[in-house]
Amino acid sequence: MLKNIVVLCMTIVSAKALRPYDEPWHRRWFPHGPGEQDSNQAISDTKNLYDAHHGIAMGVVDSSCDDGKLNLQMDWFNNVENYTCFENRSLFLPQATVHPIHSVEHIPQEYSAPHKCMNESIEYDEIIPTFGTHRPLWAVYGEYTFLPRQRWLHNLEHGAVVMLYHPCANMNEINILRKIVKNCLYRHVITPYNLLTPTRPLALVTWGHRLEMSKVAPDVVVGFIRKHGLRGPEKTHRNGQYDLMIREQAQVISDMDDQTLCPRFSENGIEMK
């Protein structure tokens, strides 16, 4: 009897040792293997956010799509490199012999920029995009410690002027450009942008236009803003909803509609007292 019990136990142990699900699995897992990141997009209830013009309605704060708080790592990882100088500042000194470059991108009149929720990444072909897919919530107007381009592109669509500067750019030149922009119009955004080159570490961006500079030429800057500011396809002065890392909100200059651009500056860019 004892012998039979021992044999039975050995048989059970042997059978357990040979169970197929105890052996290493070399085939495909579904939906993903243990420890692997799930690459499937989360299902979000965006049916109530549908907009025939952009796909997703603009300016609607919704946690299933974009509330300005969740999944912000899709646009940036809160890296200090985005707004801190870690390079040799002497490489970014202003050079009077380096002239500004004005680039123009043709945007079809029928073009409508899509809106994407925060479960989808947005990439751009241009280092300094002047139009394209962006987030449903746009930025509160003003100056930021850092603002991702997926936000300020939406502001461009509303006619804003965006000032970009490399964190290593000359501080005096930054201040000159900042003062002009802040006193030209309410609809402005100012943010560091470490993708600018050492040769031209300053830039102004409007819908379809960008101006890259080594040294600020006030007449060129004022002329650019007057000619290309407020040219976005959507004419609204309505303020944005995204304000993470904002340093100072924009002030009204002429009126909320910015009917007079750069009212405090002469044609040659000199500030009038």
Place of tokens 């101006």: 211
- pLDDT at position 31: 46
Chain centroid to CA 209:
17
Contact indicator for 72, 63 with CB cutoff of 8 Å: no
Between CA 214 and CA 199 the distance in angstroms is 6
Dig out the tokens for 107 from the structure: 């945007």
- For residue 67, give every residue at least 6 positions away whose Cβ sits within 8 Å of its Cβ, in sequence order, or none: 61, 137
Burial of 190 (0-12, 13-18, 19+ CB in 10 A): buried
* Residues 185, 252: Cα–Cα separation, whole Å: 7
**Annotated domain spans of the chain:** 47-249
| Residue 54: predicted pLDDT | 81
Task: Determine phi and psi for 196, rounding to 5 degrees.
Answer: -70, 155
Structure tokens at 232: 């976005």
CA 155 to chain centre: 10
pLDDT along the chain (273 residues), means of 10: 48 47 56 53 58 85 96 96 98 98 96 96 97 98 99 98 99 98 98 99 99 98 98 95 98 97 92 82
Q: Output the pLDDT for position 34.
A: 60
Given a contact cutoff of 8 angstroms between Cβ atoms, the answer to whether 72 and 122 are in contact is: no
User: Taking the alpha carbons of 104, 240, 163, 256 in that order, is the dihedral positive or negative?
Assistant: positive
Q: Are 212 and 196 in contact (CB under 8 A)?
A: yes
* CA distance from start to end of the chain: 112
Are residues 131 and 58 in contact, defined by beta-carbon separation less than 8 angstroms? no
